[in-house]
């Protein structure tokens, strides 16, 4: 006697890559009414108002799901398991975070803007990550990848996560729970923000936090713009309270023309492209394949959304 195939629906788009990820992992593509799960490669707009009763699991495309919490999708489907793509894009984003940090510490923005040979002027301000302490605020998938990338450079890490559960890595000096984050600022040389966007993390870094950092400190944000108070950051950059900021995300976003961050010599702004489409699509297909295989086998799914925590 053969078992019933595990039927999974795909929407709103139907790329060949995602089709192959589903069928190659032991499931069968199906229309939504007959499916047990849905792989959704879009945003909240257009998501089915009501899912059929047979849907047990929904895989979402995004790693950050704050936009979904602004809808009633989760409330409308209390018995459905939702998973995000958290961690699927970690390597690409971690590489970008490291690039921003290195560029700042080595003062590359000023070098790039220079139009004459000014070697001795730069010497006193050029730093290194060797022996430096980097606070990774949000030591989840991206944070852990970044810790691996920092290790060969000789940096030390203070890892911050929600639980405070120790991260076993020779580079990590200490793992601190989020509730003790205030202890981190005076102890670190640089900060990388990789925490999820929730009500609790809004403007996680403001005037008081920036004032406790050092004149050579770089703040890197590859999470969401609203985790940093933009006005306070601009003031800290202008006043030399910190060394600089590398931002792949901003508040507001897109960052409007004429905003001070565009002109400050110690600010690097990239247009939220740490996870470009050509890399994101492949990484999402890999996550889909893994989670579909887990679903078919009845195993725990990756990146199950914690509705109470907000991510």
**Tens digit of each residue's pLDDT (9 = 90 or more) over 225-255:** 999 999 999 999 999 999 999 999 999 999 9
Kindly report whether the peptide bond that precedes residue 95 is cis, defined as omega within 30 degrees of 0: no
Please say whether the beta carbons of 40 and 47 come within 8 A: yes
Please say whether the beta carbons of 62 and 40 come within 8 A: no
Hey, what long-range contacts does 103-106 have (CB within 8 A, 24 or more apart)? 103/246, 103/268, 104/218, 104/220, 104/243, 104/244, 104/245, 104/246, 104/266, 104/268, 105/129, 105/132, 105/190, 105/218, 105/243
Query: What is the predicted pLDDT for the residue at 2?
Result: 52
Residue the block writes with tokens 């792949």: 248
237: which 2 tokens?
Answer: 């950059």
Residues of the chain with pLDDT under 70: 1-2
Hey, what long-range contacts does 232-240 have (CB within 8 A, 24 or more apart)? 232/205, 232/206, 232/207, 233/205, 233/261, 234/260, 234/261, 234/264, 235/207, 236/207, 236/210, 236/211, 237/261, 237/264, 237/266, 237/267, 238/264, 240/215
Handedness of CA 289, 149, 111, 206 (dihedral sign): positive
Query: What is the predicted pLDDT for the residue at 114?
Result: 85
CA atoms of 172 and 183, how far apart (whole Å): 16
What residues are annotated to the active site? Answer: 224, 253, 272
65: which 2 tokens?
Answer: 């799901």
Query: What is the predicted pLDDT for the residue at 1?
Result: 43
3-state SS record for 38-86: EEECCCCCCCCCCCCCCCCEEEECCCCCHHHHCCCHHHHCCCCEEECCC
Query: What is the predicted pLDDT for the residue at 118?
Result: 80
């Amino acid at each position: 006697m053969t078992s019933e195939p595990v039927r999974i629906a795909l929407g709103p788009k139907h790329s060949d890559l995602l089709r192959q990820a589903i069928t190659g992992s032991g499931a069968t593509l199906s229309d939504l009414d007959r499916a047990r799960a849905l792989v959704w490669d879009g945003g909240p707009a257009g998501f089915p108002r009501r899912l059929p009763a047979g849907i047990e699991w929904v895989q979402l495309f995004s790693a950050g799901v704050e936009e979904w919490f602004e809808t009633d999708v989760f409330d409308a489907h209390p018995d459905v398991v939702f998973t995000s793509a958290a961690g699927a894009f970690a390597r690409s984003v971690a590489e970008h975070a490291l690039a921003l940090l290195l560029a700042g510490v080595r003062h590359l923005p000023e070098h790039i803007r220079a139009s004459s040979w000014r070697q001795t002027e730069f010497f006193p301000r050029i730093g290194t990550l060797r022996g430096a302490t980097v606070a990774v605020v949000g030591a989840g998938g991206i944070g852990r990848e970044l810790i691996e990338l920092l290790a060969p450079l000789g940096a030390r890490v203070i890892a911050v996560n929600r639980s405070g559960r120790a991260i076993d890595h020779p580079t990590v000096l200490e793992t601190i729970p989020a509730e003790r984050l205030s202890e981190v600022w005076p102890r670190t040389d640089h900060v990388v923000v990789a925490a999820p966007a929730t009500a609790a993390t809004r403007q996680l870094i403001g005037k008081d936090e920036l004032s406790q950092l050092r004149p050579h400190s770089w703040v890197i944000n590859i999470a969401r713009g609203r985790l940093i108070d933009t006005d306070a950051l601009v003031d800290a950059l202008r006043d030399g309270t910190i060394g600089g900021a590398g931002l792949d995300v901003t508040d507001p976003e897109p960052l409007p023309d004429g905003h001070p961050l565009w002109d400050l010599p110690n600010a690097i702004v990239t247009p939220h492209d740490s996870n470009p489409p050509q890399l994101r699509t492949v990484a999402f297909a890999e996550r889909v394949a893994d989670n579909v295989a887990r679903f078919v086998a009845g195993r725990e799914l990756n990146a199950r959304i914690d509705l109470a925590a907000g991510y």
